[in-house]
Structure 1
Amino acid sequence: KVPSYLGSSFAFLGPIGAAVASAGAGGGMAAALGGIVFTGVVLALVGLAVRAAGIGWVNWLLPPVVTGTIVMVIGFNLAGAAKGNFTKDPLIAIITLASIGLIGAISRGFMSRISIFLGLVVGYVVAYIMGDVDTKGISAAAWFDTPSFTTPTFSMNVMILFLPVVLVLIAENVGHVKAVAAMTGKDLDNQMGNALMADGVATTLAGFGGGSGTTTYAENIGVMAATKVYSTAAYWIAGVGAVLLSLSPKFGAVLSATPAGALGGVSTALFGMIGILGARIWIESRVDFSNSTNLLVAASALIIGIADYTWTRGDYTFTGIVNSTLVAVIGYRVLNAISEARSK
């Protein structure tokens, strides 16, 4: 009932790298997959708790000022990635971004809704004509093949490395579901537990299948914002299509060959749209920024997340999204409690 697409999560990269390094070449990836499975199980249990206890405690922990901030950080934290691709080939990036804008402005109906995709195609084709697309990998790839699998192994030392990822996934899921709710105008709080459970189950299956852990994809929220298509049927079709396409290395090679400039143009639009959805949560919830607690928490968390403040502790590096989430969640509760105690 929640229009959301699950894909590989960047939050797993840190602990996977640490797991591979600590476990050695012999069983590093297998141990990392065990950590992914562990993360999925914990997240599914959190979702089950939300279903049983209701969304009230989540709303208490994550009021609009916090969720809006998290959504904005999720989008704007990716600005560096968008810039990295954009600056690799500015001409193609500008052509792609301009194509998205022009198609959206002059088209109506279906064409307008897929302006993001069409803009990407335009950028890809122009780059191909200019000779900026490496086709060697496409030519060498087979049309059909089955993926290879690795059996997970479980080590407590490795699994502990993945615990912080659970916090990130909860924040991303809650923030994304809130963003979808704001975008569609539907109250999806009663589906929050199901969304967390679904991501947990998907992450568990991904780990057993040799893949990366999953999260709700912010990019698809941007696509929905641009297309105004919120049907869950589209995600069923996308899911089945993704499974079928995963059996074609040729298709994967075509995607891998997407020019950096085209990706930069598309991501500039999409990631910006995601960030603006966070502001929309603030506006529609009428967050009072004359309140010093709201202002300080949101401002500090945004800077920490956008600038990607990192903190390394042992084998794990807490990224900007994690740290901004901690500041937003914990900072709001502590400062709000102090403020309420003072007013009594």
Structure 2
Amino acid sequence: MEKKLILDVHEKPKVAHWIALSIQHVLAMFGSTVLVPMLTGLPVSLALVSSGIGTLFYLFVTKGKSPVYLGSSFAYIAPITSALALGATLNADGSIASHPNYGAVMGGLMMVGLVYLVIALIIKFIGTDWLNKILPPVVIGPTIMVIGLSLAGTAVNMASEHIVVALITLLTAIIVSTYTKGLLQLLPIFSGIVVGYISAVAFQLVDFSAVNEASLFAMPNFAFLHSKPVFNLEVAAIMVPVAIVTITEHIGDHLVLGSIVGRDLTKNPGLHRTLIGDGVATFFAGFIGGPANTTYGENTGVIGLTKVASVWVIGGAAVTAFALGFIGKFTALVQTIPSAVMGGVSILLFGVIASSGARVLINNQIDFGRQRNLIIGAVILIVGIGGLTINIGQITLSGMALAAIIGVILHLILPDKEASYGQRSNKTEFELEVVGEESTTSETVMTKEQTTAI
């Protein structure tokens, strides 16, 4: 298949085009990247800084061969919230009343980054077959569903604060995603937030006093200046198992991008390098107090649409995001977005995540008439959504992390393992449709053999 790129990976655009193309990528990632800190209570400025620096780290580690943008990961919303609450005073509704434990978030995400590095080294020396053996579609699909469904209550509660504004926001995102074309169709979350915000202003729900009081430039509140990382088994149990899901997503996103740019990114620069880049980015995000980073499907979609795969453009977007984190009035403006607006887009976004997990099962034709598949899927969903907690000494496993671990264990011990791979086990070539946590567009993930053929 002939490559049809306007700008290839290493080609640099003209300055005017460079700026415009980079801003497109910032718009594509913006809605989801700022939504995560607003849901978890982390500073928006640190999410922007960690996204920008993390992406630059990634581009450096991959030698500028992979045009990937990294933004805030939704998979870690619940774990970050749980880590912040460790040892903190809680309100009756479970929200943090005082002293959020930033040290626990720092330590947990830094450990996640280290897990990425360890897995990258294992992949470098022994390949990826072991990952396929422990993570079949029947485990991946329900686990992704748990990410979205476990956050459903959060989305509905925020939307309920002003249902009209929430519905305006939600309908805008739906209309943009369904009825528009081109770049705008890739920006449903951003568009929903903008229109929802305008409606919130009309309903007098926005207080601009914080924007007026904020300075134009402001130093972000870096966590390492006032907190020390907390490294213990309890924090590890909350954070580390989630890496199972995000590493799977990472691999899928790189296969998709490889099909767009016409090269196998899992071989050059290599999956071990891309995982190291992602891991270093998440380690850094934890160190400064930002949310975990992950590959962004929206930005891959922009590359597919514009046929511009230049790492210079991705780098420009990263620098822009970093700079925005230091503009005090901008971050103050973002923080004035009412909960109802965030709730409106969250209903769509979290629902898409859950639907993405179902699509993994459908596309791999997982047969739930087979008892092992029915058992694995059922247990993962109920354990994850129900928030089951197990205490093993000082280790507390709960929610999605526990669900993922139990899913892997059930897959390994139950008979008839081939059934958990669906039609994939009977084909030399297969398609597994994966939607990144932050993406609202469909992406087809292909095998390495298919990507190499392209």
TM range (shorter): 0.7 to 0.9
Q: Identify if the C-alpha distance between structure 1 residues 265 and 179 changes in structure 2 by more than 3 Å, giving closer, same or farther.
A: farther
Deviation at residue 298 of structure 1 after TM alignment:
0.8
1:286 aligns with 2:365: yes
Alpha-carbon contact 1:92-1:123 (below 8 Å) kept = yes
What is aligned with 2:160? 87
How do residues 311-326 of structure 1 correspond to structure 2 at under 5 angstroms? 311-312=390-391, 317-326=396-405
How do residues 252-271 of structure 1 correspond to structure 2 at under 5 angstroms? 252-271=331-350
The percent of aligned pairs where both chains have the same amino acid is: 28
| Unaligned 5+ runs, structure 1 | none
What is aligned with 2:129? 56
Alpha-carbon contact 1:19-1:31 (below 8 Å) kept = no
Distance in 2 (CA, whole Å) between partners of 1:101 and 1:31 is: 37
1:211 aligns with 2:289: yes
1:125 aligns with 2:198: yes
Distance in 1 (CA, whole Å) between partners of 2:179 and 2:104 is: 52
Query: Which deviates more, 49-58 or 190-199?
Result: 190-199
Alpha-carbon contact 2:158-2:343 (below 8 Å) kept = yes
Q: Identify if the C-alpha distance between structure 1 residues 185 and 227 changes in structure 2 by more than 3 Å, giving closer, same or farther.
A: closer
AA in 2 matched with 1:5? L
What is aligned with 2:356? 277
CA RMSD of aligned residues (A): 3.6
1:141 aligns with 2:219: no
Look up the SS of the partner of 1:110 in the other structure: helix
Q: Identify if the C-alpha distance between structure 1 residues 106 and 173 changes in structure 2 by more than 3 Å, giving closer, same or farther.
A: closer
Look up the SS of the partner of 1:318 in the other structure: strand
Deviation at residue 255 of structure 1 after TM alignment:
1.2
Alpha-carbon contact 1:141-1:250 (below 8 Å) kept = yes
Match of 2:86 among 18, 37, 42: 18
Look up the SS of the partner of 2:415 in the other structure: helix
Distance in 2 (CA, whole Å) between partners of 1:110 and 1:289 is: 38
How do residues 21-36 of structure 1 correspond to structure 2 at under 5 angstroms? 33=106, 36=109
Per-residue CA deviation, residues 293-317 of structure 1 (Å, 9 max, x unaligned), is 1111012212222333334556664
Alpha-carbon contact 1:222-1:271 (below 8 Å) kept = no
Deviation at residue 32 of structure 1 after TM alignment:
6.3
1:332 aligns with 2:411: yes
Per-residue CA deviation, residues 107-126 of structure 1 (Å, 9 max, x unaligned), is 22223332332122111001
Distance in 2 (CA, whole Å) between partners of 1:62 and 1:94 is: 37
Look up the SS of the partner of 1:50 in the other structure: helix
Number of positions where the alignment pairs a residue of Structure 1 with one of Structure 2: 331
More contact order relative to length (CA 8 Å, sep ≥ 6) = 1
Alpha-carbon contact 2:372-2:415 (below 8 Å) kept = yes
Distance in 2 (CA, whole Å) between partners of 1:110 and 1:29 is: 37
Q: Identify if the C-alpha distance between structure 1 residues 207 and 118 changes in structure 2 by more than 3 Å, giving closer, same or farther.
A: closer
AA in 1 matched with 2:289? G
| Unaligned 5+ runs, structure 2 | 1-65, 90-97, 420-454
1:6 aligns with 2:86: no
Distance in 2 (CA, whole Å) between partners of 1:240 and 1:304 is: 41
With normalisation by structure 2, the TM-score equals 0.63
Match of 2:328 among 217, 236, 249: 249
Q: Identify if the C-alpha distance between structure 1 residues 6 and 161 changes in structure 2 by more than 3 Å, giving closer, same or farther.
A: farther
